[in-house]
Structure 1
Amino acid sequence: MLKVLVSGCLAGRPIRFNETSVPVCSPIWEKWAAEGRLVHFCPELAVGFPVPRPAAEIVGGTAAGVLDGAAHVREVDGRDVTDLFRLAARRALHRAVEANVALAVLVDGSPTCGSSTVYDGSFAGRTVPGRGVAAEELQRHGIPVFHEGQLEQAASLLEELERNDLVAPDLPLAERLPRP
């Protein structure tokens, strides 16, 4: 059975920067949970960020730029947390490999997990198209990333992968990933 890496806050736990959660209520989610497919993981907690914590945004570029050293992640007070966000991305990838996941469903808008939008770096509440740093790292390594509003698309891909045997369940994810 193929697994799905999911943001820890999607489980209803109040672990986001502002002590909130993003609970998911969906028959797809409930089915995956009952089947034991969900692998909950919060990259920010995995590197020691507290709850609550200051808001953080990608500044001066994109998540790809953060991973490549051309952009930064800063907290609202100006503290540079780029290295911690890079480490969080690596830990998310490691967890995905360890759990042998086929895809990820991550909370959108986050500088870590955003899959289609992130905040623009101005701390003015404006979003722009883009990915968070962990979402970018997973994508770079061939792990499709969806947000919580894309469960139907994620479920379709998961079914296709299993139906067409496109992912060999006995082959560890690390051996299936393309090399960056």
Structure 2
Amino acid sequence: MASNKQCFDKILISACFLGERVRYNGVVKSLVSQLISQWQQQGRFISVCPEVMSGLPVPRPPAEINPKTKQVLTIESVDVSQQFKKGAQLALSLCQRHDIRFALLKESSPSCGSNTIYDGSFSQKIIVGEGITTKLLRQHGIKVFSELSLAQLELLLDQ
């Protein structure tokens, strides 16, 4: 018997976009958009927060990637690189398990930034770069988008 259920590409999405309290400071920052609502109703999303999945708490000290050493350091100079790498691996595993080709991740995050990250000085200065999770996903052929590139993601879906 044929199923009437429509099959959609799954999208890995930053949990913070769905209103989950996972951000370093515990603040909820949902991404409100007609597309997000539509994709959520279609059951496309697999929610992820690499930092929380790796065992980091909420709230937690802010962390940034040091551009010279590539280490992820908290504002107190604690090296949390291993937790960020573990979170990236867990996100990749989710993508592989669910045949995910697309990710929608939080721009400028040390995990999820797709075009920009903070410069490591904790001065709110943004530089060109990518987060630890984004880099790993892209190395495995997953296309990563941010809240600033929803239209580009929409164009690629279901091609």
Same-fold call, TM > 0.5?
yes
* Deviation (angstroms), 1:101: 1.1
Q: 2:20 aligns with which of 13, 19, 23?
A: 13
Per-residue CA distance 1:76-125 (angstroms, 9 max, x = gap) = 00001111111111111011111221200001110001111100011111
Per-residue CA distance 1:144-173 (angstroms, 9 max, x = gap) = 00001211110111132xxxxxxxxxxxxx
Hey, what does 1:113 align to over in structure 2? Answer: 112
SS at match of 1:101: coil
Contact residue 62 and residue 75 of structure 2 kept, 8 A: yes
- Distance in structure 2 (CA, Å) of the matches to 1:134 and 1:27: 26
Count of matched residue pairs: 152
Residues 93-172 of structure 1 aligned to structure 2 (within 5 Å): 93-160=92-159
- Distance in structure 1 (CA, Å) of the matches to 2:16 and 2:126: 20
Higher share of residues assigned helix = 1
Contact residue 22 and residue 107 of structure 1 kept, 8 A: no
TM-score under structure 1 length normalisation: 0.81
Hey, what does 1:24 align to over in structure 2? Answer: 31
- Distance in structure 1 (CA, Å) of the matches to 2:58 and 2:125: 23
Q: Which runs of 5+ in 1 are unaligned?
A: 62-69, 161-180
SS at match of 2:137: helix
Identity of aligned residues (%): 37
Hey, what does 2:4 align to over in structure 1? Answer: none
